[in-house]
């Protein structure tokens, strides 16, 4: 009975094991490679760019390139997630590129079939380091001029820079590519308490499986079609469920009551997560680790004893 691969590949904070999915790693590497192709000044990128990029589009015919065949589908992803930092304005399409927050063509709702005619570069409207629009633009598109004039033209005309919008520094690192491909998950409160260098991972792993309800107790095996003796091996009275075995059975209660009496807390467990509430108190860091180790060892002991009774009589 295993936790799904998808869950295992989540970060620790989201209840996973922080295993990197190979397919997501591959997609992230390809995204980074596509970014490098579009921005690098290295020979391989200059050569491949000259072969596959035509203005704002990419070629649709086949070429013999293992790199290109892997990344050609990511070109649109890069384009829709990047913006431009104006330098000399030579590389930026005034209407279609995102250099002022949202592409001007989108702000004006210009239909896509007209986009091929919108070929002006930003440099066409810059003169001596100032915005310079023809009088027809002032009459027909005053709002466009207003939008443009919110953007400051740099004093020193450098090369235009493509920036990756989801990142803070504008560059796309491999880490950011992975985060982009993986997406943002939801943190789980209990997840951060499971893993700790002072507790052996085998014990943390058992607790992790319990919290994911992936322990082969009778109740869980029955759902999967296994017909086995149903009684709890510890008490031989009740049906064995995960909650019963670890938190309700007389043997488990004996151990938990022993711990609760030492830390002087009275709590009734109603589900498999309640024991983590013990950690919510205002413990010092050292006490917290000791308490956590005790809790995990109780759970581990219950499981080892149950398997010993069941399989070794």
In contact, 132 and 122? CB cutoff 8 Å:
no
* Nearer of residues 131 and 238 to Zn ion, judged by Cβ: 238
Compute how many residues bind Zn ion; rule: CB under 5 A.
5
In contact, 191 and 13? CB cutoff 8 Å:
yes
Residue 102 tokens, joined: 């949202």
Distance CA 301, CA 306 (A): 8
Q: How far is the CB of 252 from Zn ion (least distance, A)?
A: 7
* Nearer of residues 39 and 234 to Zn ion, judged by Cβ: 234
Q: How far is the CB of 239 from Zn ion (least distance, A)?
A: 9
| 33 binds Zn ion per the rule CB under 5 A | no
Burial class (CB in 10 A: 0-12, 13-18, 19+), 191: middle
Q: How far is the CB of 251 from Zn ion (least distance, A)?
A: 7
- C-alpha 235 chain-centroid distance: 44
| 100 binds Zn ion per the rule CB under 5 A | no
Task: Write the interaction track for Zn ion spanning residues 178-217; mark x where CB under 5 A is met and - where it is not.
Answer: ----------------------------------------
Long-range Cβ contacts of 234-243 (<8 Å, 24+ apart): 234/302, 234/305, 234/306, 234/309, 241/217, 242/210, 242/213, 242/215, 242/217, 242/272, 243/269, 243/271, 243/272
* Nearer of residues 82 and 232 to Zn ion, judged by Cβ: 232
Q: How far is the CB of 245 from Zn ion (least distance, A)?
A: 6
What DSSP string runs through 90-101? SS-BTTTS-SSS
Distances in Å between the alpha carbon of 218 and those of 42, 105, 252, 254, 310?
Answer: 61, 62, 17, 22, 12
Please select the residue that binds Zn ion; options are 52, 207, 215, 232, rule is CB under 5 A. Answer: 232
Q: How far is the CB of 300 from Zn ion (least distance, A)?
A: 17
| 3 binds Zn ion per the rule CB under 5 A | no
Which residue stretch of 63-71, 145-153, 188-196, 249-257 sits at the interface with Zn ion (rule: CB under 5 A)? 249-257
| 249 binds Zn ion per the rule CB under 5 A | yes
In contact, 28 and 11? CB cutoff 8 Å:
no
| 234 binds Zn ion per the rule CB under 5 A | yes
Please select the residue that binds Zn ion; options are 235, 260, 293, 294, rule is CB under 5 A. Answer: 235
* Nearer of residues 34 and 232 to Zn ion, judged by Cβ: 232
Among candidates 124, 114, 116, 52, which has minimal Cα distance to 92?
124
* Nearer of residues 79 and 230 to Zn ion, judged by Cβ: 230
By CB under 5 A, name the binding residues for Zn ion: 232, 234-235, 238, 249
């Amino acid at each position: 009975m295993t936790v799904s691969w998808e869950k295992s590949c989540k970060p620790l904070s989201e209840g996973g094991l922080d295993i990197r999915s190979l397919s997501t790693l591959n997609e992230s590497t390809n995204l980074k490679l596509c970014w490098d192709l579009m921005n690098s000044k290295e020979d391989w990128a200059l050569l491949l760019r000259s072969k596959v990029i035509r203005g704002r589009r990419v070629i649709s015919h086949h070429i013999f390139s293992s790199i290109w065949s892997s990344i050609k589908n990511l070109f649109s992803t890069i384009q829709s997630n990047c913006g431009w930092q104006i330098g000399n304005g030579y590389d930026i399409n005034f209407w279609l590129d995102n250099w002022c927050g949202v592409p001007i063509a989108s702000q004006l709702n210009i239909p896509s079939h007209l986009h091929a005619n919108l070929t002006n570069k930003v440099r066409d409207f810059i003169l001596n380091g100032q915005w310079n629009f023809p009088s027809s633009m002032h009459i027909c598109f005053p709002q466009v001029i207003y939008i443009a004039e919110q953007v400051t033209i740099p004093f020193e005309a450098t090369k235009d820079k493509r920036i990756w919008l989801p990142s803070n520094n504008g560059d796309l690192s491999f880490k950011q590519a992975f985060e982009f491909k993986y997406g943002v998950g939801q943190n789980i409160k209990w997840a951060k308490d499971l893993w700790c260098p002072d507790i052996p991972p085998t014990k943390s792993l058992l607790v992790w499986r319990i919290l994911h309800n992936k322990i082969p107790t009778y109740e869980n095996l029955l759902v999967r079609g296994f017909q086995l003796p149903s009684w709890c091996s510890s008490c031989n009275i009740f049906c064995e469920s995960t909650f019963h075995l670890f938190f309700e059975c007389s043997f488990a209660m004996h151990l938990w009551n022993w711990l609760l009496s030492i830390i002087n807390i009275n709590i009734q467990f109603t589900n498999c997560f309640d024991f983590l509430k013990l950690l919510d108190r205002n413990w010092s860091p050292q006490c917290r680790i000791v308490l956590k180790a005790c809790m995990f060892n109780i759970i581990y002991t219950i499981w080892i004893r149950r398997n010993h009774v069941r399989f070794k009589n």
